[in-house]
Amino acid sequence: VRDVRSAPDAELLRRHFNSITAENVMKATTIGVSEGVYNYGPADELVAFARANGMQVRGHALVWHQTAPAWFFAGDPAAADYRATVQRRLERYVTDVVTHFRGQVYAWDVVNEPASDGSTTWREDSPWYRALGPDYVDIAFRAARAADPDTKLFINDYNTEFAGKRGRLMSIVDAALSRGVPIDGVGHQLHLQLTTPTAAQVEQALADTAARGLMSHVTELDISIYDDPGSCSASRTGCATGYPSYAEIPASVLQTQATRYGELFRVFRRAQNLTSVSLWGLSDLNSWLETFPVRRVQAPLLFDEQRRPKPAFTAVAQSIA
């Protein structure tokens, strides 16, 4: 919502994009003040901007372990009616929020990041999983579908381009589909490192999704200017050292990034059932990667710190021309 409040950012949005996503203001930590009490103000501002400029809105994200306010889980977990109480709160939240944005949001990330990074299928430390077990996915999707029959309902996760993580996510998806849970598509976040994964790995993730008859959305694309070991995101150790300043990022790094953006958009162009691609941010002035997993200079997007098109922008434009 910061971007629509800034005149030059709003201009950049209008010029290059036809879909926008709220980075934070549609999450339960913003909207879900307490049971039955909602803060829709910032999200409504975004939706109004989109509508005024002929843009569409992707909803992100109804149910996520990182944005799960404590009021959903209040009570004694040992009580006989605890589970039913949490289920009722979840159903009410999803119903009310999807109803509020009905007709204005073309797709919702209903459940974000349900799959584990480890050996279990599910992310078992999620408060949703702890309270409701795997049923939380069914409950959320069914409530969303009942509230808006026309919006597309997505399950969204990161690292879907890696076979292990994708296998865990798809086993959740396949089981839910077999129970008749209304999942329309898989969201592939695509937070990529400078040189991995390959475009071919991304292509495989999109193909596996299409093979299930599901839609794909690329939901959070960015390409870091670093290559980190797995320990960097897992425990913030071993992360690549940041460049001293934005101006000191080597031109060769920005060129590598551009080449990768170009390859990816060629894959996107030919992929089946891929109907939306979103970048996770607008220009290098603001990216969540500046502080995640560690604080350092970053430049993961298509426009630079002065909102000028980067080599990455040119590469994308050429790929989709």
Residue 161 is a catalytic residue: no
Rounded Cα gap, residues 126 and 70, in angstroms: 12
Kindly state whether residue 222 participates in binding ligand XIL, applying the rule CB under 6 A: no
The strand pairing partners of 222, in sequence order, are 191
Encoded tokens for 180? 């008749």
- Strands, E, within the chain: which ranges? 19-21, 32-34, 37-38, 56-64, 105-112, 152-157, 185-188, 191-192, 215-223, 274-279
How many residues of this chain interact with ligand XIL, rule: CB under 6 A? 7
Rounded Cα gap, residues 105 and 150, in angstroms: 9
Overall size of the chain counted in residues:
321
Residue 113 is a catalytic residue: yes
Helices 163-178 and 199-211: crossing angle in degrees, nearest 10, is 10
Rounded Cα gap, residues 259 and 253, in angstroms: 10
> How far apart are CB 180 and ligand XIL at their closest, in Å?
26
Q: Which of 23, 161, 203, 220 is catalytic?
A: 220
Return the number of the residue (112 or 283) whose C-beta is nearest ligand XIL: 112
Kindly state whether residue 24 participates in binding ligand XIL, applying the rule CB under 6 A: yes
> How far apart are CB 88 and ligand XIL at their closest, in Å?
25
Return the number of the residue (82 or 288) whose C-beta is nearest ligand XIL: 288
Q: Which of 23, 113, 161, 203 is catalytic?
A: 113
**Peptide bond just before 197 cis, omega within 30 deg:** yes
> How far apart are CB 286 and ligand XIL at their closest, in Å?
9
What is the bridge-based pairing of β-strands 105-112 and 152-157?
Answer: parallel
Binding mask 51-90 for ligand XIL (x = CB under 6 A): ----------x-----------------------------
Which of 151, 189, 193, 257 contacts ligand XIL by CB under 6 A? 189
Interacting residues with ligand XIL between 141 and 180 (CB under 6 A): none
Q: Which of 65, 173, 168 is nearest to 113 (CA)?
A: 65
> How far apart are CB 79 and ligand XIL at their closest, in Å?
32
DSSP code per residue over 228-243 = --HHHHHHS-SPPPPP
Binding mask 287-306 for ligand XIL (x = CB under 6 A): -x------------------
**Coil, helix or strand at residue 253:** helix
Kindly state whether residue 220 participates in binding ligand XIL, applying the rule CB under 6 A: yes
Residue type (1 letter), 242: G
> How far apart are CB 123 and ligand XIL at their closest, in Å?
13
Which of 21, 30, 104, 112 contacts ligand XIL by CB under 6 A? 112
Residue given tokens 């204005």 in the structure block? 104
Rounded Cα gap, residues 119 and 124, in angstroms: 11
Which of 1, 3, 22, 23 contacts ligand XIL by CB under 6 A? 23
Return the number of the residue (12 or 62) whose C-beta is nearest ligand XIL: 62
> How far apart are CB 129 and ligand XIL at their closest, in Å?
17
Q: Which residues bind ligand XIL (CB under 6 A)?
A: 23-24, 61, 112, 189, 220, 288
Catalytic (active-site) positions: 113, 220
